[in-house]
Amino acid sequence: MPRLALPARESGHDRPAATIAPSILSSDFARLAEECKRMVELGADWLHVDVMDGHFVPNLTLGAPVVAALRRHTPAFLDCHLMVSRPAQWVQDFAKAGADMYCFHLEAAAAAAGEDGKESPALSPSEPHPAVRDLCTTVRQTDMHVGLALKPGTPVDLVVPYVREGLVDMVLIMTVEPGFGGQSYMPGAADKAAVLRREFPDFNIQVDGGLAPATIAHAAAGGANVIVAGSAVFGAADPAAVMSQLRGAVTTAATSSSSQQ
């Protein structure tokens, strides 16, 4: 069983509980353990860990050794977002490091299946891709939660088969192009959350990219419940107030939407 449970839906809400996950990409890496401890003390539910390989995205960040080092300093939920070309390669490393969520890109997992010269089937809105299904199963076997991420340009219907079959525990909807923090929020990409929320009220839907007090209302109205924010939190004079505002917007949307159903 996974080390920590995922948020659940409460009575009177149309989605699982609001969950705030500051992205440590925006932290002071020289003081990473201290920064993470501070965020949790100020109200963070999870710590979002952006893992980039310099190939799938044009940036290089951190890997499993840093997660393992961080795990020794915090019991917090480590939400690892793998922006890597070969997500199957790193599952065991992150499991051993103590990751709680292993969220990989649908696009990367499908593309990697054809790298050995074998023909890889196209992604379909009607059934899971064999390689993606296998990777979901592998991650589950390590007792990490399974997350599936989508780039802004990837149609949301391609992730529906995995949710319907219970292969994944969370979908991450990118509201910026993955690779760098501090980008502007894309409302059209965030609208994908509403498509999933209508069909899956108990499912955890994460949004990441450009989330801040000025943009949270739109993401919350669309059905998101797990909110990733980097510079908006770490760069704030009062990070606790920002996280409280993000949480409040999601909770308000969850209760108001539920009352209208």
The ranges of the chain with pLDDT < 50 are none
- Residue by residue, DSSP assigns 71-100 as HTT--SEEEEEEE-S-GGGGHHHHHHHT-S
CA-CA distance, 37 to 73, in Å (whole number)?
8
State the alpha helices, DSSP H only, in 119-200: 130-141, 160-164, 187-190, 192-199
180 carries a ligand binding annotation:
yes
Catalytic residues, by residue number, are 50, 208
At residue 36, the pLDDT reads: 97
Picking from 236, 179, 176, 234, the residue whose alpha carbon sits closest to that of residue 24 is: 234
At residue 12, the pLDDT reads: 95
Residues in the chain: 261
CA-CA distance, 90 to 155, in Å (whole number)?
26
The answer to whether the beta carbons of residues 186 and 194 sit under 8 Å apart is no
At residue 177, the pLDDT reads: 86
50 carries a ligand binding annotation:
yes
At residue 115, the pLDDT reads: 67
In the chain the domains, ranked by start, together with CATH numbers, are 19-254 (3.20.20.70)
CA dihedral 256, 258, 259, 261 (to 10 degrees): 130
182 carries a ligand binding annotation:
yes
CA-CA distance, 238 to 135, in Å (whole number)?
40
Identity of residue 169: D
Identity of residue 90: W
CA-CA distance, 249 to 230, in Å (whole number)?
17
At residue 260, the pLDDT reads: 62
Identity of residue 19: T
230 carries a ligand binding annotation:
yes
State the alpha helices, DSSP H only, in the chain: 32-41, 64-71, 91-97, 106-112, 130-141, 160-164, 187-190, 192-199, 216-221, 231-234, 239-259
Q: What is the pLDDT of residues 202-211, one digit of tens each?
A: 999 999 999 9
Q: Identify the residue whose tokens are 């979002």.
A: 48
